[in-house]
Amino acid sequence: MKIAVGDENVSALLIRPAEAKALYLFAHGAGAGMTHRAMESNAQGLAERGIATLRYQFPYMEKGSRRPDPPRIAHAAVRAAATEAARLAPDLPLFAGGRSFGGRMTSQAQAVEPLPGVIGLAFLGFPLHPAGKPGIERAEHLRQVQVPMLFVSGTRDALAERHLLEPVVAKLGDRATLHLVAEGDHSFRVAAKSGRTPAEAEAEALDALAEWMRRLS
């Protein structure tokens, strides 16, 4: 599919299982586009759990650039994709978010002006701070988000240190939920010594995401 973002078009992929219970507007991270194997695996896994997904490219990724779009352009892409998602599946409850950068841009767009039809935001690895530079400045805008939010984060996430993320989510009150994937890193990879496989860690993250969406739906 194609989605118009201003004067440009970006690619998109819709997966809708037969018994879909909700639609997740699923944005990619900064370094890999919507067809990256992790994005594809997550989307297929959500489909198996009854969650449809609409993946889309940010304009910079569509052009093959490695430099992420400035917030103004990224927010426009999120908003255009949300409008298209609502048009494609008006019968399904609509959630938005994504992996890392994509989730943060979605939350920023929602904080500026509520996305049309979106009833909740879900983040797979919210990038609270750059690696090696712990801080919570990137979370300030979340206070302006008034829809329910789910944060799925690995306990070894170098971009969201647990001791910083937990109080950030707690201060958001009842509208925010945190699910921690034990021993998972920013991409939910786990070390062999954890006693779990990467597939098991991914399944836990997707189970948490799908169950949260079904409950709110």
Cβ atoms of residues 94 and 85 within 8 Å: yes
215 is written with which tokens? 């409950």
Residue with tokens 């819709």: 14
- Please enumerate, as own/partner, the contacts of 4-7 that have beta carbons within 8 Å and a separation of 24 or more: 4/80, 5/59, 5/73, 5/76, 5/77, 5/80, 6/73, 6/76
* DSSP state letter for 89: -
**Could you give the CA distance from residue 212 to residue 159 in angstroms, rounded to a whole number?**
23
pLDDT at position 195 is 87
Domain harbouring 7, CATH code: 3.40.50.1820
Cβ atoms of residues 125 and 117 within 8 Å: no
In sequence order, what are the beta bridge partners of 96? 25, 121
pLDDT at position 45 is 98
Number of domains in the chain: 1
**Could you give the CA distance from residue 131 to residue 24 in angstroms, rounded to a whole number?**
27
**Could you give the CA distance from residue 96 to residue 101 in angstroms, rounded to a whole number?**
13
Which stretches of 28-100 are DSSP H helices?
Answer: 37-48, 59-62, 71-88
Instruction: Flag residues of the chain having pLDDT under 70.
Output: none
pTM beyond 0.75: the answer is: yes
Q: Which residues of 96-114 are buried (b: 16+ CB within 10 A; e: fewer)?
A: bbbbbbbbbbbbbbbbeee
Provide the residue range defining the domain that includes 190.
2-216
**Could you give the CA distance from residue 76 to residue 107 in angstroms, rounded to a whole number?**
12
Radius of gyration of the chain (CA): 16
Q: How many CB atoms lie within 10 A of CB 157?
A: 23
